[in-house]
A = this chain, B = another copy of it.
């Protein structure tokens, strides 16, 4: 397996585009993105568990009941959520796309991200669609434009692709994502669109995605707020020519490995580009009795406002790590917990058997002044492990969210 270029266009038969159509006022920001497969593809998606759900999710869910889709259409700047006419507008988006390119409305995955509770005006989208379709391309640049089209307060582009082999055939898988704020996925997440030319049945594709997100997107948190519009969707058009993956065999394992490479990369990108973030925080928990315990502990630490603020200040305040483990609800033996901090600058042990140990504050400051920090927790009670990703809590998070709408 190796990293390659092209993002969602790396896989054969996929093209993409992104334009500014006018949903967002700022004309320098793209706000409409399209991903298209030459042929209908196996499709799977997972969605937010928030009871308040964006209208596009309801429409998408209906459209991929048959496990097939051919295009992804997504706007930024407006979430099309909590609007009386939301479903109608989301369906209209699919119909309008169908009028501009060879795709059935029921084969469109539709998504929206942005402000909740403001009506989404279909006009700029209707006007923009011909341009969006005419700009479809399969170059690296095309994937970049689509990735830009789904960004809101994101500051960096989130895109990746890898090459891998299934049954002797070269396959590709690539993805784009938007994250930033309201990031605390439950079951699904943020907006992530993944394309692959591997041949895989809809059933196995769904299985692969559902299994993967438990240890990837569901382990990311920027601010503890589970969005109303989270969605991860994957299209597999089979154009790599491998024998279709239809059971849990070696080929499926290869596919899972490639998928996981994409999703872990995007998780780290999303966490590191959390609203206002200056640092990517990774929490690695080992020595748990059960995986669920390791996950609960890792996520509790990564979600603690106090821990996040301490990391912003490069303050080795490990007491807050212990505190967050203690209130997580996980069954742990406090007196066995070891804690260390690690970064490119080195590693420092700060807590052994649940109590503080002497350490150099100077070294700790150096370790914690890097851009990527790993807090390493050993529960010393078993063999299960888990990793969670988050970011520091900064002045800019407050600034961005103190006045997001206006």
Which A residues contact B (CB, under 8 angstroms)? 48-53, 79, 81-84, 115-119, 181-182, 184, 186, 223-228, 303-306, 309-310, 312-313, 315, 317-320, 322-327, 332, 334, 351, 354-356, 361, 393-395, 397-406
Contact = CB atoms under 8 A, between A and B. Distances in A.
Contact of A315 (B319, B361, B403): B403
Contacts of A400: 309
A327 B319 CA distance: 29
A402 B312 contact: yes
Contacts of A119: 356
User: Which residue, of A53, A84, A326, has the highest number of chain B Cβ atoms within 10 A?
Assistant: A326
Contacts of A304: 224-225
Nearest to A118: B356
Given A117-B322, A181-B306, A225-B327, 16 more contacts: A49-B327, A50-B323, A52-B322, A117-B319, A223-B305, A224-B305, A225-B324, A226-B326, A228-B322, A228-B323, A310-B401, A313-B403, A313-B404, A315-B404, A395-B398, A395-B399
B326 A50 contact: yes
Interface of A is mostly: loop
Contacts of A399: 395
A49 B400 CA distance: 34
Contacts of A354: 52, 82
Nearest to A353: B84
User: Which residue, of A305, A324, A404, has the highest number of chain B Cβ atoms within 10 A?
Assistant: A305
Contact of A323 (B182, B320, B398): B182
A404 B305 contact: no
A323 B114 CA distance: 13
A399 to B, nearest CB: 7
Given A305-B305, A326-B51, A327-B186, A84 B317 contact: no
Contacts of A317: 115, 404-405
A118 to B, nearest CB: 7
A117 B305 contact: no
Contacts of A53: 326
A313 B398 CA distance: 9
A315 B403 CA distance: 6
A115 B401 contact: no
Given A52-B322, A395-B395, A395-B398, A82 B224 contact: no
User: Which residue, of A186, A227, A318, A405, has the highest number of chain B Cβ atoms within 10 A?
Assistant: A405
A51 B312 contact: no
A327 B226 contact: yes
Nearest to A276: B398
A340 to B, nearest CB: 14
A102 to B, nearest CB: 35
A52 B339 CA distance: 14
Contact of A327 (B51, B361, B398): B51
A344 to B, nearest CB: 21
A334 B83 CA distance: 12
Contact of A397 (B115, B184, B309, B334): B309
Contact of A116 (B50, B223, B319): B319
